[in-house]
Amino acid sequence: MVRGRWRSAGSAVLRVVTVWAVSTLTMLVLAGALPDFQLKADDGDSITRVALTAVWGAGAFGLLGALVWPLAVRALLLVPALVLGLLAFFLNGSLLLVALSLIPDGRGEADPETAVVVAAVMSAVASATSGALAVRDDEAYRRRLSRLAHRRGRAGGDDGRNGLPGTLFLQLDGVGHDVLLRAVADGLMPTVASRLGGEEPTHRLTPWRTDWSSQTGASQLGILHGSNHDVPAFRWYEKESGEVVVSSRPASAALMQRRAISRTADGGLLTFDGASRGNLFSGGADQLALVLSIAARRGRSNRSRAGYFAYFSDPANAVRTALSFVAEVVREIAQSTRARLRGDRPRVKRGGLYPFIRAFATVVQRDIVVAAVLGDMLAGRTAVYADLVAYDEVAHHSGPHSRDALKVLERLDRSLELIVKVAEHAPRAYRIVLLSDHGQSPGETFQSAYGLTLANLVRAGCGLPVPRRAARTTSASEARDAVRTALHRPVPDDEEEPEHPEPGTDPVVLASGNLGLISFPDAAGRATREQLDRHHPALLSTLANHPGIGFLLVRSEEHGALVLGAGGAELRLDADADAAGGTAGAGPLAVFGAGAADAVRRTSSFPHVADIMVNSWYDPDTGRVHAFEEQIGSHGGLGGEQARPFLMSPYTLSAPVADGAELVGAEQVHRVLRRWLRECQGPQVPLTATEDSQPRAETEGQIPVGERAVQE
């Protein structure tokens, strides 16, 4: 044991000396290359003197970085997170200027702007050298990466839970089953391909079917918390409060999470020694980073922002991510310009702040989440669930099958490769499960195809005045709202629907991909078909017969849940034999395939379902839909690849479903993941009523102990 300690100490000293030497050489090279950076007196110095000056300067800079940088970054968490990345450059440059001032006889000198460049290069070189040396030393590599995640519990792992394996659930947001297969076949995702193919494949690929609301809010809530009851769409209007709930807003995410916990009486999938990274919801985890449902809270209990500190506490991370951020902005501008010059169709606007939002999703969020996952594995966490939103954000604007989006998948595969390699250094084995929450369906927007928005079509059907100039349609984007949260910026009323629509006779029309929701605030409860026909006799026929609309869901006083289609077609979901048997029958849902009637019927039972639910047209031959938002790759309703995500699991875990059976709904996926945790960890992962086919009735006031992060 003593010999091992001496060996570790010797390795640590060797790494420090090597990094110091490399930093010294880097400083000498930069001093020779940059005219405004010098390491010698004005009257000249010998080579030996200059070298000693560089040794002194590099050592002072390294020591200041180790001592001052973490404290400064923690203090800077009071500023918006994205600003922190920019301040990192200036902070690093300031530390270099301080280090140069400590050199005897004033031999170190640099202009402030030159100091920023020199500090960035030296930090990157030093980090790369330290990392390369640490990889050769398993313990050092493990300690270094463990520091990337902020922890108040145990650090660096314990006994590996007596050798029991941990489980990593990695969500590739918006990646459909067919898109994944296509990327693997085209050689874009070799890490995934190596596990699905070859002589001895290690993982199975299982498609699953989403609920009617095929979007992250509904899917991830069901997966992490076992219930997505009463989540009819990405955004919806609640009459009793007069508020619009939006899944990507912190307050709304917290509300959705509390409701799910109350319904299941269970904290979530991650209540036992879990970590939640980059998600909308916590899943009951104690370790949180970039989790939206707690982002609205302030104080010590909000540990979500600790993810920024954990990552940016390493100056090289700040430099690398900032440079990648700028490169991604330039990449997006170049790609959108080429698309415009080629005259690509369909196309949506990609100017304004979008290049920066895309860079946040594809660089900042990815880097922080991956770093947190690496730290979690090296700390031996039992269960980790992380979401990478990069593909989903790019596919919305470039298309799910576009070259731009597929290139993002290629980069995500490299992140997965890094995770797999680091898992080899973890104190326990990890079973890595790859999954998605939904896919995306391509297609021209409703407004582009027909020259008006759904809101204006509704107003016309109600006999209300229609503006000559259509307003810009709200676009659902988790990344957009995540950027606002990181910047502490409220949602501008001119960019989003108001949280409190003015009461009156005008309908509230909301969009969730190719799913539209129409509510009448002045109608008590859910308006029936009969009421709508009395007050707005032309509305339902105007909507049902529009070529861009596939079907409507309304409630009839006489027939219950009713699906309306073109030409007077109707499907009585509560009465028709075909619907009761779970098939779409010959009605308006036939084109949407098996299971559509069940999904629509379930949504119709939700307390906050809209008065009229509108699903866009869908072409089964091309898989295209019409989004009611400004998106050419969309999800949120029925039709095409959006409702067909994937679940990729190792063969060491039991099959998700029996042969020939279909995995349907996010709540069933939750039960599968919960079963896998039991297979890995035994009975200490509790099974609750979420394992039953029927959800438990709402339980007032029961917040499980494991769900500390959302207690009020």
Q: In sequence order, which residues have a C-beta less than 8 Å from that of residue 395 and are 6 or more positions away? A: 174, 402, 405, 408, 440, 633
Query: What is the overall mean pLDDT for the chain?
Result: 79
Per-residue pLDDT at 4: 52
**Residue 551 φ/ψ, nearest 5 degrees:** -165, 165
pLDDT > 90: percent of the chain: 51
8 Å CB contact between 556 and 550: no
Residue 336 has pLDDT above 50, yes or no: yes
pLDDT of residue 112: 67
Mention every residue, 6+ apart, whose C-beta is less than 8 A from residue 554: 528, 529, 532, 540, 562, 564, 611, 612, 613
Over residues 353-381, mean pLDDT: 90
159-180 exposure pattern, b = at least 16 Cβ within 10 A, e = fewer: eebeeebbbbbbbbbbbbbbbb
Identify the band that residue 555 occupies on the pLDDT scale cut at 50, 70 and 90. Answer: very high
How confident is the model at residue 382, as a pLDDT? 93
More confident: 368 or 88: 368
Spell out the alpha helix ranges (H) of 102-111: none
Q: What is the pLDDT of residue 311?
A: 74
Pairing of strands 508-512, 441-442: unpaired
Q: pLDDT at position 95, please?
A: 62
At 78, is the pLDDT very low, low, confident or very high (cuts 50, 70, 90)? very low
Contact 215, 631 (CB under 8 A): no
CA distance 542 to 185: 44
Confidence check: pLDDT of 621 > 90: yes
pLDDT band of residue 350 (cuts 50, 70, 90) is confident
The structure tokens 């989903």 sit at 392
Q: Token digits for 641?
A: 């690849």
Residue pair 42/77 in contact (Cβ under 8 Å)? The answer is no
More confident residue, 381 or 157: 381
Q: Residue 152: pLDDT above 60?
A: no
| Structure confidence at residue 203 (pLDDT) | 96
Q: What is the pLDDT of residues 199-234, one digit of tens each?
A: 789 999 999 999 999 999 999 999 999 999 999 999
469-515 residue pLDDT tens = 655 555 555 555 555 555 455 544 444 455 555 555 689 999 999 99
CB-based contacts of 2, cutoff 8 Å, min separation 6: none
On the question of a cis peptide bond just before residue 695, with omega within 30 degrees of 0, the verdict is: no
The pLDDT of residue 618 is above 50? yes
Phi, psi of 166 (to 5 degrees): -95, 170
What is the model's pLDDT at position 302? 46
- Give the strand pairing for 166-172 and 430-435: parallel
CB crowding 497-535: b at 16 or more within 10 Å, else e: bebebeeeebbbbbbbbbbbbbbbbebeebbbbebbeee
How sure is the predictor about 31, in pLDDT bands with cuts at 50, 70 and 90?
low
The rounded radius of gyration (Å) of the Cα atoms in the chain is 28
Structure tokens at 439: 């896919």
Residues 607-629 have a mean pLDDT of 96
- Count of CB atoms situated within 10 Å of the CB of 425: 18
At 309 the pLDDT is 65
Residues 6+ apart with CB under 8 A from 91: 69, 72, 73, 76, 315
Q: What residue spans define the domains of the chain?
A: 2-136, 168-442+641-651+668-692, 446-464+506-628
The residue that leads in pLDDT, 261 or 290, is 261
Q: Which amino acid is at 659?
A: D
Cα torsion 673, 674, 680, 685 to 10°: value is 160
Q: Where are the alpha helices (DSSP H) in 527-642?
A: 529-535, 539-544, 577-580, 596-604
Instruction: Provide φ and ψ at 173, rounded to 5°.
Output: -60, 125
Calculated CA dihedral for residues 518, 524, 526, 528, nearest 10 degrees: -90
pLDDT at 466: 85
Q: Where residue 407 falls among pLDDT bands split at 50, 70, 90?
A: very high
Give the pLDDT score at 587: 85
Name residue 194's amino acid: S
Checking if the pLDDT of 150 tops 90, the result is no
Task: Give the H or E element holding residue 484.
Answer: helix 478-486
Give domain 168-442+641-651+668-692's CATH architecture: 3-Layer(aba) Sandwich (3.40)
Q: Does residue 435 register a pLDDT over 60? A: yes
3-state DSSP call for residue 494?
coil
Q: 546 to each of 35, 452, 601, 657, how far by Cα in Å?
A: 69, 12, 23, 40
3-state secondary structure of 682: helix
Would you state the structure tokens that stand for residue 352, as one six-digit string? Answer: 């304004």
DSSP state of 661: -
For the stretch 116-137, pLDDT in tens is 666 666 666 665 555 555 444 4
Query: What is the structure's pLDDT at 567?
Result: 92
Share of the chain above pLDDT 70, in %: 65
Q: Return d(Cα 237, Cα 449) in angstroms, integer.
A: 27
